[in-house]
Amino acid sequence: MAAEKTDEQQVKMFGNLACSRIRVDREGWISTAEQLSESGARLLTLWGTDDRDQAGGFRIDAAYLLSDSVLVVEHRMVDEGEPWYPSLAGLFPVALRMQRAAYDLLGISTNESDDRGWLRHGGWPQMVFPLRRDVDGSQQYPVVSQPYSFVSVEGDGVHEISVGPVHAGTIEPGNFRFSVVGEKVLRLEERLGYTHKGVAKLFESLTQHTGHRLAARVSGDSAIAFSWAYCAALEAITTTTCSARALALRALALEHERLANHLGDLGSLGNDAGFAFGFTHFSKLKEDLLRANSVVFGARYLMAFVVPGGVAADLNTEARSLLLELYDALETSVINLRTIYDNHAGLQDRFREAGRLDRSTAKRLGAIGLAGRASGLACDLRVDHPWAPYTSLAVTMMTQKGGDVAARVQIRFDEVVESLRLCRALLTENDSGVIQATVPTAQSNQLGMGIIEGWRGPVAVVLETGRDGGIHRCHTHDPSWQNWPLIEHAIIGDIVPDFPLINKSFNLSYSGQDG
Amino acid sequence: MWNTLSRMLRTGLLTEPLPKLSEARSVVEGLPLEPMQQNLLNILGRALCIRHVDAGSCNGCELEIQALGNPYYNIEGVGIKFVASPRHADLLLVTGPVSVNMEEALRRTYEAMPEPKLVIALGDCGACGAAFGSSYASRGGVSNAIPVDKTVAGCPPSPPEILRAILDLIRPAADEV
């Protein structure tokens, strides 16, 4: 899988999916984006890098999902006092927040008028860009709070409700500004970044063989997806082949992660619509699964399971029968509970038409993953771009047309049943073998990409190796970047009391987005 | 409706005994619920109220706090409930390293609580910053921002470990009554 030139410009790139890379100038940056937008490509992620230590100036990269591969477009801003690149937000609205984040970290700007800080809330000085090589990441600064100019809505009877960053429940922090008339929401504006922990800068102090531990903690509910994506990038760079057994165990853990989150969400969605029975029963099922994780994988949440070259441990001897029994019990219960949910008039009254996001809006905004599928966008990397072992599992993609809370509930029910099928298939195949291959230290300046369809959608890790086994740059991307802006549209016209339900139906990550 | 009722009956009561306290005194495996509830009533005359604040966590600890509400642990059955306002809270349960972006919100939540107030820093990050340490974006452990009475190790700590830490913290006061 050595990087080889496929044509004059396009270079093959390391990755667990088919990836290639193209270098463009400033005009090429926007004209390539125009062509990609017309061809229906989706913007997967965008990140900046400080290459001044290699006399390369600053660099901006955008990764696009095409129908059969991933294309990374790279633009170098060489010899510029004020590095900038043309904004992609007009073509791909999802780029806007990523560009604001890239400015906060690196001081590379765009021609966009919205220059409000996204990750920087006043916790470090305005002219300090922490991801620059000459900035000491361990330096601490006093917080200087800054007002944030939310877009205001004016008119008779319009008032604002500010929620957060500390929320009323046991959830992550973020700020929501509602402009309402009576109960009706005219506009919602999100402000995130509260859990920014400097993950990108931290990666640069780690080695290639320890980075997966931090990756697992980018978003705790997607620990397998992130640690697998990191390891997949490193393994692609070092041309390490994992054993079939190791890959099957990773996929089993990834499906368990999907099951645990979907079961938890199904319960919470019942609860948020006033049906506490649903929470009681689904939270019981989720607990059963987590306890089984503890027995067979050694932990309820698998922060340390995926390691470079494979997995940390194989299943014990009783695992197979215990899990098969659990899957049967879960399936019977979930099918029974689905009938109860479907036939509950009060519940369906809250679910249907709430937080509706139609297909064309979802498409225009670049919706991805579970929320995209609930609005009729057929996109699931396990199906579109399968990687081992999904290449041989023939995953059935679940889609819904409704785009409302009810559709996002139905998708979860469907995916639980499909995940259970995959888990059974993964248990019957390859039940022995080596679980960990040796991963050599990579040469410096190798770029690799790992993309894994987690339970929310595609999780991406871009790894660029440094000297002596170090990391030059590591960019992590959660699909919540794409899907947070969807909620601002889905809520319009609904009432404020429906917001918790609508928000939960997306259940997006704050920490994964904030980084 | 029949389906719902029959599922309730078939499931039955799942709640398990409380986890053992960490200290060895007069404790058998699995504490009965009633004395604990009575102790809480004697001290507070009502439920113990907890306000949770995510000061920058990865969401792992949140998932385990939420699990305390499932029927196996049934935390409300013991007489412990989560409240929406810090002004109603006896105990602040803080997760995550303290991000600089959450530092002020955490401090203001702490200040809004009535005296006496207890604080638990949850998880390895809450205890010391763990993988995130101290940096331009993180203050490290919770005690770098507000006073902490107890820390709970784990990534994330399991529900019984969280429950045990809460009981450990309030038990001495309960014993005095």
Range 301-320 of A in CB contact (< 8 A) with B = 301, 303
Contact list, A285 vs chain B (CB under 8 Å): none
Q: Give the whole-angstrom CA distance, residue A168 versus residue A166.
A: 7
CA distance A473 to A471: 6
d(CA A503, CA A202): 30
Q: Would you say the C-alpha torsion B82, B83, B87, B88 has a positive or negative sign?
A: negative
Please, which residues have CB within 8 angstroms of residue A407's CB and are 6 or more apart in sequence? A374, A375, A400, A401
- pLDDT of res. B21: 62
Are B4 and A221 in contact (CB < 8 Å)?
A: no
Q: Give A190-222 as a 3 state SS string.
A: EECCCCCCCHHHHHCCCECCCHHHHHCCCCHHH
A304-323 mean pLDDT:
94
- Quick check: helix, strand or coil at residue A320? helix
Q: Do A307 and A313 form a contact (C-beta atoms < 8 A)?
A: no
For residue A442, give the 3-state DSSP assignment.
coil
The torsion angle over the Cα atoms of residues A240, A243, A249 and A254, rounded to 10 degrees, is 40
Instruction: Report the pLDDT value the prediction gives residue A222, as an integer from 0 to 100.
Output: 98
Mutual angle of helices B2-11 and A276-296, in 10-degree steps: 40
pLDDT band at B105 (very low <50, low <70, confident <90, very high): very high
pLDDT in tens, A238-270: 999 999 999 999 999 999 999 999 999 999 999
Task: Find which of A170, A256, A279, A289 to mutate to test the B interface (most B CBs within 10 Å of its CB).
Answer: A170
Is the pLDDT at A118 greater than 80, yes or no?
Answer: yes
Position of tokens 């001044």? A52
Helix, strand or coil, per DSSP, at residue B107:
helix
Answer yes or no: do B132 and A213 touch at CB < 8 A: no
Structure tokens at A187: 């506009």
How distant, in Å, are the alpha carbons of A378, A387, A390 from that of A251? Answer: 21, 10, 8
Closest CA to A174 of A162, A161, A159, A185: A162
What mean pLDDT, rounded, does chain B reach? 88
Residue in B closest to A220 by C-alpha: B60
Q: What is the pLDDT of residue B27?
A: 41
Q: What span, in angstroms and rounded, lies between the C-alpha atoms of A272 and B107?
A: 29
> Confidence class of residue A5 from pLDDT cuts 50, 70 and 90?
very low
Q: Quick check: bond before B35 cis, omega within 30? A: no
Q: State pLDDT tens for residues A394-414.
A: 999 999 999 999 999 999 999
CB spacing of A221 vs B14 below 8 angstroms: no
pLDDT at residue B177, rounded to an integer: 53
How much is the pLDDT for A263?
Answer: 98
DSSP A343-409: H-HHHHHHHTTTT---HHHHHHHT--HHHHHHTT----HHHHS--TTGGGT-PPPP--S--SHHHHH
Amino acid at A483: N
DSSP three-state, residue B88: helix
Give the closest of A173, A219, A340 to B102, CB-based. A173
| Residue A430: predicted pLDDT | 61
CB of B26 within 8 Å of a chain A CB? The answer is no
SS3 state at A19: strand
Structure token pair of residue A463: 């790894």
Question: Can you give the pLDDT at residue A433?
Answer: 86
Cα separations in angstroms, A191 against A110, A205, A477, B99: 20, 29, 18, 15
Q: CB of B29 within 8 A of CB of B160?
A: no
pLDDT one-digit tens code per residue, B36-78 = 777 777 777 788 999 999 999 999 999 999 999 999 998 988 8
Which long-range contacts does B5-10 make (Cβ < 8 Å, 24+ apart)?
B7/A281, B7/A336, B7/A337, B7/A340, B8/A277
**Interface membership of A173 toward B (CB under 8 Å):** yes
- Residue of B53, B135, B144, B158 to mutate, interface with A, max A Cβ within 10 Å: B135
Residue A139 to chain B, least CA–CA distance (Å)? 5
Chain A CB contacts of B82 below 8 Å: 169-170
Q: From the CA of A173, how many Å to the nearest CA of chain B?
A: 6
Give the model's pLDDT for residue A344. Answer: 96
> Cβ contacts (< 8 Å) between B141 and chain A: which residues?
none
Cβ–Cβ of B4/A214 closer than 8 Å? no
Q: How far apart are CA A508 and CA A510, in angstroms?
A: 7
- Overall residue count recorded for chain A in this entry: 515
| B129 in contact with chain A, both atoms CB, cutoff 8 A | no
Interface contacts (A, B; CB < 8 Å): 176
Q: Do B101 and A195 touch (CB under 8 A)?
A: yes
From B69's Cα to the closest Cα of chain A, the distance in A is 8
Q: Buried b / exposed e across A390-426, counting CB within 10 Å, b at 16+?
A: beebebeebbbebbbbbbbbbbbbbbbebbbbbbebb
Q: Which domains does chain B have, with CATH numbers?
A: 49-176 (3.40.50.12280)
Inter-chain contact B136–A201, Cβ cutoff 8 Å? yes
Q: In this complex, is the C-beta atom of B6 within 8 Å of any C-beta atom belonging to chain A?
A: no
Q: Please name the residue of chain B whose CA is at the shortest distance from the CA of residue A507.
A: B59
The full set of domains in chain A, from first to last, is 11-106 (3.30.460.80), 199-505 (1.10.645.10)
Q: Nearest CA to B54 among B112, B93, B83?
A: B93
Residue B53 contacts residue B93 (beta carbons within 8 Å): yes
Would you say residue B24 has pLDDT above 50?
Answer: no
Taking only the tens place, the pLDDT of each residue in A147-196 is: 899 999 999 999 999 998 999 889 999 999 999 999 999 999 999 999 99
Confidence of residue A45 (pLDDT cuts 50, 70, 90): very high
Among chain A residues, the shortest Cα distance to B140 is held by A197
User: Other C-beta atoms within 10 Å of A145: how many?
Assistant: 10
Shortest CA distance from A131: residue in chain B: B136
Share of residues in chain B with pLDDT > 90 (%): 62
If you write DSSP's letter for every residue of A250-265 in order, what string do you get?
HHHHHHHHHHHHHHHH
Q: Is B144 exposed, middle or buried (0-12, 13-18, 19+ CB in 10 A)?
A: middle
- Measured between beta carbons, the chain B residues lying within 8 angstroms of A340 are 3-4, 7
Q: What does the mean pLDDT of chain A come to? A: 95
**DSSP letter (8 states) at residue B109:** H
Chain B residue numbers touching A337 (CB-CB < 8 A): 7
Shortest distance between the Cα of B59 and any Cα of chain A, in A, equals: 5
Report DSSP state, residue A167.
-
CA separation, residue A470 to residues A444, B33, B83 (Å): 8, 53, 45
Coil vs helix vs strand at A177: strand
Tell me what pLDDT residue B25 has. 40
Do A390 and A244 touch, CB atoms closer than 8 A?
no
Of A202, A220, A264, the CB nearest to B60: A220
- pLDDT tens-digit map of A465-515: 999 999 999 999 999 999 999 999 999 999 999 999 999 999 999 999 999
Q: What is the pLDDT of residues A52-96, one digit of tens each?
A: 988 789 999 999 999 999 999 999 998 667 899 999 999 999 999
Beta strands A184-191; A175-181: pairing state: antiparallel
Nearest in space to A375 (alpha carbons), one of A297, A295, A430, A457: A457
Cβ atoms of B152 and A238 within 8 Å: the answer is no
Distance of CA B26 to the CA centre of its chain: 23
Q: Beta partners for A187?
A: A179
